[in-house]
Amino acid sequence: MDGVDYKVPQNIETVDAYIANAPKDRRDDLNKLRTLLVQEVPNAKELIKYKMPYYSNQKDSERFSTS
């Protein structure tokens, strides 16, 4: 599935829900990216911001999307 065709549902509140609702062909990569971000951004808060996963600690912030 082309990421341009995918629209994130408005009610997504967790990264688990974001990944579960992502196109099947993107889920493995999203989980790998999530694992990497959790390892590389210590003590980060995991949130949904602007309808995408967002990781932030006091120094760094990162986010990703399905596209």
pLDDT at 63: 63
Q: Return contacts of 2-7, CB within 8 angstroms, 24+ apart.
A: 3/65, 3/66, 3/67, 4/67, 6/66, 6/67
Separation between Cα atoms, residue 37 and residue 43, nearest integer Å = 11
pTM of the full structure: 0.75
pLDDT at 62: 60
pLDDT at 1: 46
pLDDT at 40: 83
**Tens digits of pLDDT across the chain (67 residues):** 444 566 777 889 999 999 999 999 999 999 999 999 888 887 888 989 888 888 888 776 666 666 5
Most distant pair of Cα atoms in the chain: their distance? 36
